[in-house]
Amino acid sequence: MMKETDTHRMTKQPHQRPRRPGYAKDLLDVAAMPRKQIDDLLRLAASLKTKQRRSTPHRLLPGKTLGLLFQKPSTRTRVSFEAGMNQLGGHALVLPMGDIQLSRGETVSDTARVLSRYLDGIVIRTYDHAVVEEWAAEASMPVINGLTDHSHPCQALSDLLTIQEVKGRLKGLTLAYIGDGNNVANSLIEAGVKMGMRVVAGCPAGYQPDQHVIDRAIVEAETTGGAVEIFENPQVAVKEADVIYTDVWISMGREREQARRLKILASYQLNGRLLQRAKPDAIVMHCLPAHRGEEIAADVLDGPQSVVIDQAENRLHMQKAILVQLLTRQKGR
């Protein structure tokens, strides 16, 4: 039986308005999303990307305002949401923590309920996953997880878009994640298995993805045809992979562990030798920012099999799809 953890959604409060059945109000984790919702997002993101490439107007959110509350530094998440909202005809409002009353002790409950009267949605990038759960429980507007220490759902969803573009499908592919089993690894497992992929993690002991994420994915795989496998040996993990993915070894908030992490993860570098173990047409992915010479060799990151820049671009298109899907489904306030 699955144990209750602090990453599960909190019970919605009575002041929240009912939503149409099918999709959740918020986007906190990929695991909580129905398969149809992800399929719809992939189709919508591809359509929006085509419209942008053709300079076709797609102002689907006129008059909407999105809040961006970031407690961690950000380049791709912040810029893609801010630019995306503007391209959709809406407005993005950055809310620096030091400039709002949360920094002086106002409760999340009071802040969330008030901002729900001002905004049409909010993206939150923070440390503790319980923070975005509390926001979702208290706010009547959609709450989007822009990254927590537990998960990075927007990244994983945009990665599905990139893989589908390059490979033409998702189901049946093998995605090998190498290195630190962090928040990105958690979300990739959730997303990949839900779409019928085989997700393999090659991580040292003590640095593997969260066990409850793995356990839940194993159950999910029984109905999707996907699979999740965990290895300590990176050479075994990447064998015959269609996609090889890595991320930084020192995530935000882990800087004090730098020396120990560099030593333990040194043999997990994604380099040419490791890439040769995968399929000849395997693609290389990294969510950026990258530390060349640490988790990935420069010649691999910049090499012909790398799709990292396309991957980064697709953050914009998937973020726009998420905004359209969530912000156009709101009831009148």
Query: Active-site residue 287, yes or no?
Result: yes
**3-state SS record for 116-163:** HHHCCEEEEECCCHHHHHHHHHHCCCCEEEEECCCCCHHHHHHHHHHH
Give the dihedral of Cα atoms 177, 181, 183, 188; nearest 10 deg: 30
Written as one letter, the residue type at 228 is: V
Query: Active-site residue 87, yes or no?
Result: no
- The rounded distance, in Å, linking the Cα atoms of 46 and 37 is 14
Determine which one of 87, 247, 286, 311 is catalytic: 247
Does residue 179 contact residue 200 with C-beta atoms inside 8 Å? no
Query: Active-site residue 315, yes or no?
Result: yes
Does residue 157 contact residue 30 with C-beta atoms inside 8 Å? yes
Pairing of β 283-286 and β 243-246: parallel
Determine which one of 71, 87, 155, 319 is catalytic: 155
- The rounded distance, in Å, linking the Cα atoms of 161 and 314 is 7
Query: Active-site residue 247, yes or no?
Result: yes
Q: Which of 177, 167, 217 is nearest to 196 (CA)?
A: 217
- The rounded distance, in Å, linking the Cα atoms of 177 and 16 is 38
Query: Active-site residue 154, yes or no?
Result: no
* 174: β partners: 198
CA distances (Å), 107 to each of 131, 244, 269, 294, in order?
11, 42, 43, 40
Determine which one of 78, 261, 315, 317 is catalytic: 315
Written as one letter, the residue type at 204 is: P
Determine which one of 125, 216, 261, 317 is catalytic: 125
Give the burial class of 102: count Cβ atoms within 10 A of its Cβ; 0-12 exposed, 13-18 middle, 19 or more buried: middle
Q: Which residues have CB under 8 Å from 302's CB, separation 6+?
A: none
Determine which one of 76, 129, 152, 216 is catalytic: 152
Determine which one of 120, 269, 287, 317 is catalytic: 287
Q: Catalytic positions, please?
A: 125, 152, 155, 247, 287, 315
